[in-house]
Amino acid sequence: MSPTSEGTLPAEQLSERAAAAGLLIPVVLMLLLSAVGRATGGSRPIALSDATLLQGLGVELLFMATLGFWLWRRGWRPLRTATLPFVQLDLVRALALWVSAILAVGAWAALCRALLPGLFESAKHTEIVGGAHFWVSLSYSVVNAVFEELLWLGLGFAALRRFGTTTAATISAGLRLLAHGYQGPLALVTVLPVAIVFTVYYVRSRRLWPVIVAHAFQDTLALSILANTGVNRLT
Q: Could you tell me the residue ranges of all domains in the chain?
A: 16-32+46-73+89-232
pLDDT score at 24: 94
Whose CA is closest to 141, among 203, 208, 217? Answer: 217
- Please identify every stretch of the chain with a pLDDT value under 50, giving residue numbers as ranges: 1-5, 235
Whose CA is closest to 180, among 168, 191, 165? Answer: 191
Distance (Å, whole) CA 28 – CA 33: 9
Other Cβ atoms within 10 Å of 51 Cβ, number: 11
What dihedral do alpha carbons 10, 168, 29, 122 form, nearest 10°? Answer: 140
pLDDT score at 232: 57
Q: What CA–CA distances, in Å, run from 130 to 18, 53, 199, 223, 231?
A: 37, 10, 29, 8, 7
Cα-Cα-Cα-Cα dihedral sign, residues 79, 82, 84, 86: negative
pTM, to two decimals: 0.92
Other Cβ atoms within 10 Å of 163 Cβ, number: 13
pLDDT score at 181: 86
Whose CA is closest to 19, among 150, 146, 209, 176? Answer: 150
pLDDT score at 3: 45
pLDDT score at 7: 65
pLDDT score at 1: 44
Whose CA is closest to 29, among 178, 229, 203? Answer: 178
Strand positions, DSSP E, the chain: 46-48, 128-130, 231-232
